[in-house]
Amino acid sequence: MEQSNIATHAVATGPAGRAMAQPMDASLLEGLQQHLTMERQASATYWAMAIWFGERELRGFCEYLKGEAGNEQQHAAQLADYLLARGQTVSLEALAAPRQQWRNAEEIFAAIFQLEADVTSSLQQLYVMAERASDVRSTVFLDPMVQGQIASEHEAAHLLGRIRFAQANPAAMLVIDGELSEGKHAPASLA
Ligand SMILES: [Fe+2]
């Protein structure tokens, strides 16, 4: 009895009071928290863009971007789950008001492509930090996230290309809008 008590107390706990297998490198932890905020900010940005298209009767675009806002929230949730699994707490920082004024759809999708590229860069930095700290749990956690970003960049490039192809022609924009309403947003695949 005495022995098992000692064993129980020997388990390290993190700031959340939960059992913690490996302490986290301070800069990696800070980076993961910042990345969580970045995903929440991306969600707010997508939602603002969905509103922009909703105001212009392009319901397929609105639906697609609403879904993307949900995906970004889900990415933030995955980070929160990971921090909890590592015995850490999740700090929710203030978000900036998302941009709502845009000239046209092309400008929005160029911004989306850049946003996704920035998220990938942030993940790359986290990956380097995790490797430097010999934190294999974190590199394994980040692997599918980086993979997801490659797909997101690919999709954003595809939709930006299609919008450029349409050259703001209303009939062509309605064709893309109809496709998005049907959930067709994947780039061509040769596999
Ligand atoms: Fe994301």
Confidence (pTM):
0.92
Whole-number Å distance, alpha carbon 110 to ligand 1 midpoint, is: 16
Whole-number Å distance, alpha carbon 3 to ligand 1 midpoint, is: 46
Whole-number Å distance, alpha carbon 10 to ligand 1 midpoint, is: 37
Q: What is the pLDDT of residues 88-138, one digit of tens each?
A: 999 999 999 999 999 999 999 999 999 999 999 999 999 999 999 999 999
Whole-number Å distance, alpha carbon 39 to ligand 1 midpoint, is: 5
3-state DSSP assignment of residue 16:
coil
**How high is the pLDDT of residue 80?**
98
- Judged against a pLDDT cut of 80, whether residue 5 lies above it is answered with no
Evaluate whether 125 touches 70 at the Cβ level (below 8 Å): no
3-state DSSP assignment of residue 19:
strand
CA separation, residue 164 to residues 28, 80, 167 (Å): 39, 37, 5
User: Which domains, and CATH codes, for the chain?
Assistant: 13-181 (1.20.1260.10)
